[in-house]
Chains A and B, each alone.
Chain A
Amino acid sequence: MRELGMLEYLQRIVRRQFILAFRVPSEFAIPISFFIMVLALFPLGFGPVVKNSGVIWIVALLASLLSSDRIFKQDYDDGTLDQLLMSPQSLFGSSLAYIFVHWSQTGLPLALISPLVAIMFDLPGSAILPLVVSLLIGTVVLSLIGAIGAALTVGLRKGGALVSLIILPLYVPVLIFGKASVEAAIQGSFFSPPLALLTALACGAVAFAPFAIGAGLRISMEI
């Protein structure tokens, strides 16, 4: 037996979650399917042509929202979270590991599929790159914020809807900067300023959210 280093510990968490994700593909498939299905509803509700990139962003928000409460739920139910909190490894790193896995199951596929969606929605070609990049970065922030909400409510019985209520206001800046960058590209101006702001949000979130997540997990475990 040898001592466990931080990096190796994080690798463990990531490996576990990924193996589980591939063995239970429904976890993987739900956010993406939701994303596409709800997007398909918009032309039905609004008329044949929707040239609005904001719709894509809002649906991405909703997909992220709905998958957030499940970040820690499984591990809370089967006792893994107990072990996590008792380990000497810092919760900061562990939270980031969990979020990384969650993001790669929700935000990343969303961002990768968005060019297809952009074509479906008849967006100009110039919009595709900013859409993908803004979604890539923005969903990181969404996952982080969602994890804060999940950590605060994981022990509660009515967790799911509550998470949405808590974190939706916090999603607003992400939506704004994400949408703005796509719009800027469509209008032909530089899309990097909003993107830079989005990246700043992401950096801030990565630096500070894990503290809130760790604290929230500790509080939730007391239930």
Chain B
Amino acid sequence: MGANGCGKTTLMRILAGLIRYGFQGRVNRNSPMFFMGHQLALKGHLTVLENLKLDISGWSAASDELILEVLTQLNLECFLHSFVNTLSIGQQRKVSLARIFLTDHLVWLLDEPFTSLDKSSISKVEVCITNHLLRGGALVITSHQDINLPNVDLKVVELGGRE
């Protein structure tokens, strides 16, 4: 957690292995990670289905049924064939988050995942996160606001401002 500009996103990117730190190079990745950064990594001119089916995270290929199932859980099934740029920002973020469920990575790195989401969506995502953690997954998450995750031990790190 921390204020704007204190380096949360940079830290996330270092953990994801996108940025080197010091002179030791990149973080070694022993297990595949799911990374969701500030941008949504969605193409506006593709439909939701195309975005998820042709996703280039490169780990696995999801079947159409699985995609539909995941979208239904997030109340987005009616948008299956809509272009992403016709959706609201919150809906787009949910589509972006839907990618998590198309993979079974153990480690999740989420950079401010709750922005633009409404309360019911936030609680849904919190439930998913709790399930993930209870299954033995790891999670690093940055946020402005407090996260409500009962039944789970959260380690909160507050980052100071810019040097």
Contacts and interface: CB of A to CB of B under 8 A. Distances in A.
Contact of A78 (B33, B41, B62): B41
B60 A86 contact: no
B137 interface: no
B46 A13 contact: no
A122 interface: no
B135 to A, nearest CB: 16
Interface in A74-97: 77-80, 82-89, 94
Nearest to B19: A222
Interface size class of B (residues with CB under 8 A): 20 to 34
Contacts of A51: none
A48 B68 CA distance: 62
A16 B52 CA distance: 11
Tell me whether chain A's interface is mostly helix, strand or loop, or mixed.
helix
B28 to A, nearest CB: 14
A78 B42 contact: yes
Contact of A19 (B39, B46, B66): B46
B45 interface: yes
Contacts of A2: 60-61
B60 to A, nearest CB: 4
B62 A1 contact: yes
Nearest to B103: A1
A222 B37 contact: no
Contacts of B33: 86
Given A1-B61, A82-B35, A16 B43 contact: yes
B56 A9 contact: yes
Closest 4 CB pairs of A and B: A87-B58, A79-B39, A79-B41, A89-B58
Interface of B: 13, 16-20, 32-33, 35, 37-43, 45-46, 50, 54-63, 66, 102-104
